[in-house]
Structure 1
């Protein structure tokens, strides 16, 4: 069912006139408010900044892109409103908020509701949820979609802490189903999640989405922010560089968020004595599982796009169907040109609506 067109007065009433008491957060181009519609349905209403040209572009992109998508791991766009210069987007309400609020230590008393530490089972589930959403965008819907802004703050959690990918303001639909890339003169995305080739080519590809997913995997497991790189060779302050260094030393498991308690995973702990060492079988199994996910994250963050796994392969690894890709102990140098396996020179790079090319400065959204 297509998103509904709402009247401004309906959404004004639902949000209490966009009351600050109903404010849920602030995005790159507007505020988000909690609203209650006439049928007592809870929603989230994004109010796009009136004077933002980029915001208007995002508004159109959201309506034209996510409005036609349907997947359990995508935040559902319920409706929209364009009236009296107001641009409003209405989404399903996600009661647990965004993932980033649970991953990083919060200092504000206002964030006490997000003080819950997500256990490994929940984190692993969210990673799988996002992988399913991306596989759908890349391979499962009628027209291939590139999200272009995968990050923890764009992952929303429902009441059961299931993950849903949201914020399609930078997303673009590929005109031909067998195409996998989109060219632009402007760089879109968030520093720390952007693949190194993006800074040289300006192209968004399925591989650049995979790279951002890999960074997301690392921060979910490690509970660390991704870092903020401005050049493709400046990785020493990034989570990718840090985890890769530990991997090369054989210490990758030490990257795991120390707040994750094994007891929280309700594991039946079985121990026995072997050569005077106490061995926790279930803990070893759990660490092996976490290590596989970390290595998968590094594989997705390979500097060269043609070495990154597809989202189909990612899902197979997460489901235990195949082993993770081989990852070198030392992070390879970024070499260009190294065209993505999906990229074919000479293809028509145009989008369904090529005029909608939002720009996100390197300082982030």
Structure 2
């Protein structure tokens, strides 16, 4: 995907976002995220502080919300889709996009986001930011790379989830719900197997998106009425007891490995047909005593009367004794390989541009860009006759002056002239961006250079030069592994061009 899965604004954006916390945060949300047993301080444990993002940041991070970046985090349909993205600091993120109609009041959206953003816990896929830019409403969370519980339970390809990990899922999600309840966020909307995610270690986590109140249409549950808490069908309100009911349906999923309507499951439990309820793919590899305990807990959670259901603390108390393989890594039980470091790639013959970038020879890169001129810009801009205004002529004149300065190695003047061209915004030139990126590198400004190289990639997604320039900027930022990855990606694009 390349570094276009990044944020234009980089470190400047992060500093700006942190300052905005004090300027734009609602008055009743000024405190840092509270700590709790098993939780994480705000910004601690590798989780960044909650902040506001601009729409431009997230547009670039998700490659302009490309359909290739859609992830089925919550099983939702458009427009409330979730996208994978990557910030300039190389952190992967999940971005949930709402319509303005879902949250017409920007203040209400911001307040709700800040409320959820204060939570920090190792059992949550934590919310790290939001965007309320014009009509845009988006949430930003930690990205969980190993799919959903629904994927591993219902659509598995290699192996189903073993029994011990199913118990761990139940226990960890109970812990997450208990933490949220203790921090004053007891309501979780539409808890289901799509809301349970697996992180880079294979550990299950609860998506923070379900902690946000859903849109003003009041639809807090999916359209499948068989799994909806009965009291919600009566009054349309989510209560703490409704969340317990939904947790019971997740327990049924874990037991059976498929969607079973709660009413049908209750009939099986009453008929003591527990074996028929169990997932046949487990092939009997489970403890009957443990399965019976989970079935009994699910039965209590699915009681018709809300007052007869257990509380969140009761869930953890019931499941804790069943979590006996606590020393076994989740990624082993999930059957995935934990990603430690980028695999080595075989050496390939590099083009002159690739060779110059691999050696970080800025002088050679400069010579190549001068000789290439603007031939790679062909087709990226088509202006109508009406668009040839005096402003356009002035803009092109600025570019010409920038070219002269670039050729003569007057890089400060080149930056100024190219900036005049770029800031007008009528024409998008990847070559100008690449040239200004090099000027920034030669002026010891690798952050700015990386932003320009990423923007060049967005204008021209398959342009090797954009990737090459990113590799040099990343190397100057001491991000050697990422620089190597980017160099290989650029070389691959060149190989594809030669083959076509």
TM-superposition CA deviations, 1:6-45 (whole Å, max 9, x none) = 2232222222222222222363542222111111111112
Q: Secondary structure at the match of 1:137?
A: helix
TM-superposition CA deviations, 1:107-133 (whole Å, max 9, x none) = xxxxx5xx5311111111111111111
With over 3 angstroms needed to count, the CA separation of the structure-2 counterparts of 1:95 and 1:79, relative to structure 1, is: same
Distance (Å, rounded) in 1 between the aligned partners of 2:249 and 2:107: 26
Counterpart residue number, 2:254? 220
Counterpart residue number, 1:354? none
Structure 2, unmatched stretches of 5+, are: 1-41, 43-48, 323-500
Counterpart residue number, 1:318? 319
Counterpart residue number, 1:5? 52
The TM-score, its normalising length taken from structure 2, stands at 0.49
Matching residue within 207, 213, 233 for 1:199: 233
Contact 2:103 2:109 (C-alpha < 8 Å) held by counterparts? no
Higher strand share: 1
Paired residues, what number? 269
Counterpart residue number, 1:288? 289
Distance (Å, rounded) in 1 between the aligned partners of 2:125 and 2:113: 13
2:320 is the alignment partner of 1:298:
no
Distance (Å, rounded) in 2 between the aligned partners of 1:60 and 1:207: 27
Choose 1 or 2 for highest CA Rg: 2
Distance (Å, rounded) in 1 between the aligned partners of 2:249 and 2:200: 25
CA-atom RMSD in angstroms: 2.9
Q: CA deviation at 1:170?
A: 6.1
Counterpart residue number, 1:266? none
Q: Which moved more, 1:289-298 or 1:5-14?
A: 5-14
Q: CA deviation at 1:103?
A: 1.7
Contact 1:170 1:188 (C-alpha < 8 Å) held by counterparts? no
With over 3 angstroms needed to count, the CA separation of the structure-2 counterparts of 1:297 and 1:211, relative to structure 1, is: same
With over 3 angstroms needed to count, the CA separation of the structure-2 counterparts of 1:288 and 1:192, relative to structure 1, is: same
Matching residue within 249, 252, 256 for 2:274: 252
Q: Secondary structure at the match of 1:192?
A: helix
Counterpart residue number, 1:20? 67
Higher helix share: 2
Q: Secondary structure at the match of 1:168?
A: helix
Q: For 1:52-63, what aligned pairs fall within 5 Å after superposition?
A: 52-53=102-103, 59-60=109-110, 63=113
With over 3 angstroms needed to count, the CA separation of the structure-2 counterparts of 1:185 and 1:117, relative to structure 1, is: closer
The TM-score, its normalising length taken from structure 1, stands at 0.66
Matching residue within 149, 170, 177 for 1:127: 170
With over 3 angstroms needed to count, the CA separation of the structure-2 counterparts of 1:95 and 1:261, relative to structure 1, is: farther
Structure 1, unmatched stretches of 5+, are: 107-111, 173-183, 227-237, 264-282, 322-365
TM-superposition CA deviations, 1:183-230 (whole Å, max 9, x none) = x9956323333221222233432211111111111112111214xxxx
Counterpart residue number, 1:164? 205
Q: Segments of 4+ in structure 1 off by > 6 A? A: 54-58
Distance (Å, rounded) in 2 between the aligned partners of 1:145 and 1:49: 25
TM-superposition CA deviations, 1:276-323 (whole Å, max 9, x none) = xxxxxxx6xx121012101110111011112111121121111239xx
